[in-house]
Structure formats: structure tokens, C-alpha cells
């Protein structure tokens, strides 16, 4: 009896793993397609629609790596300021245009602050937080990215619960 229960649990776990793996792969494929569209529009100097821009906000380290890899100078897009322009466009939607559809996306993006671009990301994050500290605290509640610096730091600094 116990042996059958263990087999059933193993089968269920395996099926769950397959479903999750397929979902993650589809999500990455969608991100890749969106990235290709954004790069094409950028290189042809056409406006990137806000819905495409919003979907460029990385939700995973893999997404962020793909976005950051656009800085490598051996590619056509890498010889441009695509990465810096796109990330600033996302922040500016909140900072300049008060487009709250981008509020969570901006915080998500800021959670990837690291290396050469960290200072700019953190400056934008501070400006966004200062728009409304309570909104910041409410938005990050129950978000996975609240556990990552610099969001984690500001969450503690402003005593977000």
C-alpha cells in the first residue's frame, strides 16, 4: 500500500515538473520574441509600443540576462544604447508620465540593480519610492523581488511590513 502511494506521489511530482518546465520555456520564448520585436523597432527608429515595453521588464534572471546581453558590442544592437534607453523608458513611464501600469514593472526592473548600471537603477528607484512611500510598501508586499537588494534595503529602511 505504501509503495503504491509513493509511486503515485512520484508520478504526480513528475507531471508537475513537466508542466512547470513547459510553462517556463513558453514564458522565455515569449520574452525572446518580444525582445526581437523591440530590437527591430529600436534599430529602425520606430516607437516601441507601451505594451511591448512593459513586456520587456524582466521577471527572471534569464530574462534580465537576455536584456543585458544587448550591451555586447559584437552585435548590431550592442553598438547602440538599447539597454540603457529601454530601461530608462520603463522608469520614465512612472517618473515622467505617471503611468502606474509601469509602477510594479519599474520596481521589478530595479531589483536587478547590479554592476555598471546599478547606480542609475537605484537613483530611479529612489525617485519612484519618493513619489509615494506607502504605495511602494503596498506594491512590494508579497512580491518575490522584495527579497532582493536594493528593494530589500529600502523595504527595511522605510519599515514596510
Q: What is the pLDDT of residues 86-98, one digit of tens each?
A: 999 999 999 999 9
Q: Inform me whether the pLDDT recorded for 27 exceeds 60.
A: no
Above 70 in pLDDT, residue 104?
Answer: yes
Phi-psi sector, 79: left (phi>0), alpha (psi -120 to 50), beta: alpha
The residue written with cell numbers 522608469 in the block is 91
Lowest-pLDDT range, 7-11, 25-29, 31-35, 77-81? Answer: 7-11
d(CA 114, CA 16): 33
pLDDT band, very low/low/confident/very high, at 29 (cuts 50, 70, 90)? confident
Instruction: Write down the domain spans for the chain.
Output: 2-157
**How does DSSP classify residue 147?**
G
What is the pLDDT averaged over residues 81-87? 97
**How many C-beta atoms surround the C-beta of residue 30 within 10 A?**
12
Q: What is the pLDDT of residues 119-154, one digit of tens each?
A: 999 999 999 999 999 999 999 999 999 999 999 999
Q: How far is CA 130 from the centre of its chain?
A: 21
Amino acid at each position: 500500500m505504501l509503495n503504491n502511494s509513493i509511486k503515485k506521489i512520484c508520478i504526480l511530482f513528475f507531471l508537475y515538473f513537466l508542466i512547470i518546465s513547459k510553462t517556463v520555456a513558453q514564458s522565455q520564448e515569449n520574452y525572446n520574441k518580444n525582445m526581437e520585436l523591440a530590437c527591430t523597432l529600436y534599430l529602425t527608429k520606430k516607437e516601441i509600443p507601451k505594451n511591448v515595453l512593459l513586456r520587456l521588464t524582466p521577471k527572471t534572471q534569464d530574462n534580465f540576462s537576455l536584456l543585458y546581453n544587448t550591451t555586447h558590442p559584437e552585435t548590431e544592437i550592442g553598438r547602440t544604447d538599447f539597454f540603457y534607453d529601454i530601461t530608462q523608458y520603463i522608469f520614465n513611464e512612472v517618473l515622467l508620465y505617471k503611468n502606474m501600469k509601469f509602477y510594479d514593472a519599474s520596481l521589478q526592473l530595479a531589483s536587478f540593480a547590479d554592476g555598471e548600471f546599478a547606480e542609475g537603477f537605484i537613483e530611479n528607484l529612489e525617485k519612484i519610492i519618493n513619489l509615494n512611500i506607502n504605495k511602494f510598501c503596498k506594491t512590494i508586499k508579497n512580491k518575490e523581488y522584495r527579497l532582493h537588494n536594493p528593494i530589500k534595503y529600502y523595504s527595511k529602511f522605510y519599515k514596510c511590513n
